[in-house]
Each structure stands twice: as C-alpha cells, then as structure tokens.
A and B are shown apart, each in its own frame.
Chain A
Amino acid sequence: MSNIEERVKKIIIEQLGVKEEEVKAEASFENDLGADSLDTVELVMALEEEFETEIPDEEAEKIKTVQAAIDYVKAHSDD
C-alpha cells in the first residue's frame, strides 16, 4: 500500500516541481503546491500513465489534493 503512496507522491514531486516535505496528505495542488489548472490536468495524465488506467473527466475533476490522488489510485488499481 505504501508503495502506491510513494509512487503517487513521486509523480506529484516531478510534475509540480515541489519538495518532498511539501507533499503532505492534505495539501491541495492548486492552493498549496502552486499548480494551475493545466498542471493538474497533466498530473492526472501522469497518474494515468504510471498506473496504466484511464481516469474519467468527472473523476479527474475531484482529484484536487495529494490524499484524493492516493485514494483514487488505491481504489482503482489491482496491485
């Protein structure tokens, strides 16, 4: 399980160019991590690739925080 968490955080760090300690569970991409809406779209694209899944637009719109991303991936991945 922690594996998923680490992979998600690693992607967030890479995509948004933020420091590891900033990527707290409750951190919001746009409010805390300086992402704009397009960065968030790209972040979802990167998650889709890493976890080989397709995230529908209406789900993607709900992924606004680190925890939401981790939760989504955990709920939808088989590993």
Chain B
Amino acid sequence: MSLENKVALVTGASRGIGKAIAQQLVAAGAKVIGTATSENGAAAISEYLGDNGKGMALNVTDSEQVAEVLKAIEEQFGSIDILVNNAGITRDNLMMRMKEDEWDSVIETNLTAVFRLAKAVIRGMMKRREGRIINISSVVGTTGNPGQVNYCAAKAGLTGFTKSLAKEVAARGITVNCVAPGFIDTDMTKALTEEQKSAIFANIPAARLGAPEEVAAAVAFLASPGAAYITGETIHVNGGMAMI
C-alpha cells in the first residue's frame, strides 16, 4: 500500500467529502487523524477509523486549539506527512444583503485556517524533505457563483495560496495542490431544492451530483508517491460542469 507509515491529518472528517478522504487514505495504508468541531463528532470518527487513526475535536478558526491538536498528533502519531484542508462552510447571501460576519466567518474558516494549519506542518515537512498539502477548493472559486462572494473569494484565495506555497517549498520535496469539487452529494448540497438541483444538472454534462468518494480519489492520488512531480495544480472533479 502506497501510504504505509504515513500520517495524514484531514480536517472536517466527520461527514461528507472529508470522511470519504479519511477512509480512502486509510485504505491506502496511512494513519489518519480526522477532525470534527465537537467531541461527539470526534468520537464517531475514532469509531469508523478503528486502529487506523483517531478522531480529534478541532475548530480550525481557533489558533490555540490548532497548536494543541498538532502537539497531540505529534506525540501520539509522529510528524504529519499529509495535510488535507477540507473543513469548510458556506454562509450564502446576495452581496446586497451580506453581513460582515458572514464574510468574516467564511474567510476565517475556508482560507485563514488553511494558512494556520499549513504553517503548523510545514516546518516538519521541510526537515524531512517530504510532504503533501492538499486543499479542497471549489469549482465556484474559478467560475464565480451568485450569492457566494465570500465563499468564492475564499476558494479563489486558496488557489493563489497553493501556487505561492508550492513555489516556495517545491525544492524541498513538498507538493501543494488543490482539489476543486463541483456539486457533490453531501450535507452542504442537501439544502438544495429539487428545482435548484434540476437547474444545476442542466449545466453538468454528467447529469448527476458527484459522490464524496469521487473527490477523495483525486486527493488519494495527489497524496500518493506517484504524484510527486505535480505541484501548484488544481484537479477539478465536477462531471464536466466547467472544463478549465
């Protein structure tokens, strides 16, 4: 198995895409630490990971908690080889109605937290001359989407972050990439009405929502030794919705 002896941290692994990523990394042989915002969520992650890792409670917007969790991982599992920044939220509203706290919370959770976590793992990766950072962005970060100026700004921000960090650390054997999902069947898209869904399907050549596992497969590939020469890239997983 290609990720034997590797330690992976997946944020937001309680459900949806993050859970599928954690499961596929385990299937590839990695030890996985998955996070949720609550202790209950963390316990549920521990349960599905079994002997192959552990769930931990983490709010990615809390710097102190990030430091504590990283220390605990280091002590129990060793240095992190693979960081998957998956935790993310939406707070949709038209620009005319968007509140500053809706803007701030999305930028904090989806963008600033990625800076924070990457900063916390990069030192160890530099020393080991090896590491993978994979950020879950979104197709709408490239295409834009009405009602999501905050979310699209954060996701587009991830692309610039990813490319810049990729250039900084490429010579040290560390790759930094994005996986950009289209519409995936998770809690995030459950809120859509049937009418909204059929409107969306009209723009998706594959004519269906994607499955979390189909996003996770791209993440597992980028984490694998075979992807060592791919950096600063975005893999789009969107059923043909946008070909970029």
Closest chain-A Cβ to B170's Cβ sits at a distance in Å of 10
Number of B residues with CB within 8 Å of any CB on chain A: 7
Scan A27-45; emit 1 where CB is below 8 A from any B CB, else 0.
Answer: 0000000000010001001
What is the predominant secondary structure among interface residues of chain B facing chain A? helix
Q: Are A38's CB and B127's CB within 8 A?
A: no
Q: Are B127's CB and A45's CB within 8 A?
A: yes
What is the predominant secondary structure among interface residues of chain A facing chain B? helix
Beta-carbon contacts under 8 Å, B83-134 to A: 123, 126-127
Q: Are B171's CB and A38's CB within 8 A?
A: yes
Number of A residues with CB within 8 Å of any CB on chain B: 3
State in angstroms the CA–CA spacing of A62 and B139 once bound together: 42
Beta-carbon contacts under 8 Å, B151-178 to A: 168-169, 171-172
State in angstroms the CA–CA spacing of A38 and B122 once bound together: 12
State in angstroms the CA–CA spacing of A7 and B83 once bound together: 34
Beta-carbon contacts under 8 Å, A9-54 to B: 38, 42, 45
- What residues on A are CB-neighbors of B126 within 8 Å? 42, 45
- What residues on B are CB-neighbors of A38 within 8 Å? 168-169, 171-172
A residues at B contact (CB < 8 Å): 38, 42, 45
